[in-house]
Chain A
């Protein structure tokens, strides 16, 4: 069964530091990778998408993809308390199905 694994956390990071969120996936044929942020009681919100190996930066967010090692990560620089949320990794597998991780709860401590 195809899987997307995330550490459930909570991951506690001091304000201003770099938060690093990791995700591994089992289907080597996966092509598209997405990070969503979900605040408590709210719907998931797309943060980043990445399709090729390497880094993709958008403001304070950087997504990193390593297809050989089958992992994708999200870095948040200069973490703010407002970044406290659950971060969901989603991977579109070789059958074009979107497989979701269970999410990592991130807490930014002032």
Chain B
């Protein structure tokens, strides 16, 4: 399966802990996007990355949240000192290089983060 791979599928953390969410894009894709979705709500854009570069982080909270997409390995969304309000589904999507124009984004199955 050459789709977007996210892990873990479910992640439980206690308040104050750190959460690390991983995303491996589709083969041949070098653009990665992270979204957050609360139950019964729409997708909220968080950050857009290319290899080793953050292109747009306008949707990222200013504190506790960070993202990276290293030259080797998956993209990581990191949430420090988690709070109950961080509980949500986090989706990763990818698209091919040179995709500014017309290429759609393809989504992974998401990580469901629950904060106790």
Contact = CB atoms under 8 A, between A and B. Distances in A.
Interface in B60-116: 91, 93, 100-102, 104-110
A98 B45 CA distance: 9
A42 B109 contact: yes
User: Which applies to chain B's interface (DSSP): helix, strand, loop or mixed?
Assistant: loop
The contact size tier of chain B is 10 to 19
A46 B93 CA distance: 11
Contacts of A31: 101-102
A100 B100 contact: no
Given A43-B91, A43-B109, A100 B102 contact: no
A97 B33 CA distance: 11
A8 B83 CA distance: 29
A51 B102 contact: yes
Interface of B: 33, 41-43, 45, 56, 91, 93, 100-102, 104-110
Interface in A17-63: 31-32, 34, 42-46, 49, 51
* Ranked 7 nearest A-B pairs via Cβ: A102-B42, A96-B100, A43-B107, A32-B102, A43-B110, A100-B43, A44-B107
Contact of B102 (A49, A88, A103): A49
A43 B22 CA distance: 16
Contacts of B109: 42-43
A77 interface: no
21 contacts: A31-B102, A32-B101, A32-B102, A32-B104, A42-B110, A43-B91, A43-B107, A43-B108, A43-B109, A43-B110, A44-B91, A44-B107, A46-B105, A49-B104, A51-B102, A88-B42, A92-B101, A92-B102, A96-B100, A100-B42, A103-B42
A33 to B, nearest CB: 10
B39 to A, nearest CB: 9
